[in-house]
Amino acid sequence: MRTRHINKNLVTLLILGILLSGCSAQRDFLSDNFSKAKATHQRIAILPFDVQFENPVNRNPDTRTQRFFSQQEREASLDTQKELFAYAAKQVEKGRYELAFQDFTKTNSILASSGIRLEDIGKHDKAQLARILGVDAVIWGQLQVVISRQNRYSMMPSYMGNDGVEANVNLYDAATGELLWKTNMKQRPNNRMDTPHHLTSQLIAQVAKHLPYRTK
């Protein structure tokens, strides 16, 4: 009986260890001015993310491969923005955030009509973008997808090694342009069938719950 009890404890610890190793976060940066700025935030826009795929093909790319990954990264940029909006909106519905997130389609429409290209968003002053969008703050992030194993028809991360997804997410104030909050989170494969999109979705869901506006 005692052996069985010990075995159960070991299994529980192993499962907990796997879950904790799947997603990890470093300590957040929070500006001293965040509380003051937060009181003025009623509407936030989520910008398309800067997404980069890293794999052995990228180290020796040809023109065709470059075009393929450029298109993949562009689609992933918009998908990540859309998913963070959807997950954040769910948090608002649950009463965990008392503010509004601008619909991502409206955000992208305003950016396009203002002549701001997707690939140039990272270079733009975030306070200026927030004012163009008519919001109090903007969220912008960088997403890196590391894939060490690839075949012709699909991209699958390796269960071993450094494969996974890493996100650096930043919150900028519209009035001052100040970086108010920053977090770094990582998601590694828990099984051999985890795809980059699945890993990214898991990570973005965690980011949506981790924004510094939580009320409960």
Model pTM score: 0.81
For the chain, the domain total comes to: 1
pLDDT of residue 53: 86
CATH number at residue 97: 3.40.50.10610
Sign of CA dihedral 184, 190, 195, 201: negative
9-39: burial string, b at 16+ Cβ within 10 Å, e else: eeeeeeeeeeeeebbeeeeeeebeebeebbe
* pLDDT more than 90, % of the chain: 62
Q: Indicate the average pLDDT of the chain.
A: 83
Q: State yes or no: pLDDT of 158 exceeds 80.
A: no
Q: Which residue has the higher pLDDT, 60 or 127?
A: 127
pLDDT of residue 23: 65
Distance CA 138, CA 191 (A): 34
Domain assignment present for residue 2? The answer is no
Domain assignment present for residue 10? The answer is no
- Residue 123: partners with Cβ closer than 8 Å, 6 or more residues away: none
Domain assignment present for residue 73? The answer is yes
Kindly report, residue by residue over 113-129, the tens digit of the pLDDT.
Answer: 999 999 999 999 999 99
Distance CA 87, CA 153 (A): 30
* pLDDT more than 70, % of the chain: 75
Domain assignment present for residue 3? The answer is no
Residue-range definition of the domain harbouring residue 206: 25-210
Task: Round the CA-based radius of gyration of the chain to a whole number and report it.
Answer: 19
Kindly report, residue by residue over 172-200, the tens digit of the pLDDT.
Answer: 999 999 999 999 999 988 887 788 888 99
pLDDT of residue 190: 83
Sign of CA dihedral 146, 147, 148, 152: negative
Instruction: Tell me the backbone φ, ψ of residue 179, rounded to 5 degrees.
Output: -75, 110
DSSP readout, 127-152? HHHHHHHT-SEEEEEEEEEE---B-S
Domain assignment present for residue 127? The answer is yes
Res. 54 pLDDT band, cuts 50 70 90: confident
Kindly report, residue by residue over 168-177, the tens digit of the pLDDT.
Answer: 999 999 999 9
Q: State yes or no: pLDDT of 147 exceeds 80.
A: no
Distance CA 126, CA 131 (A): 9
Domain assignment present for residue 13? The answer is no
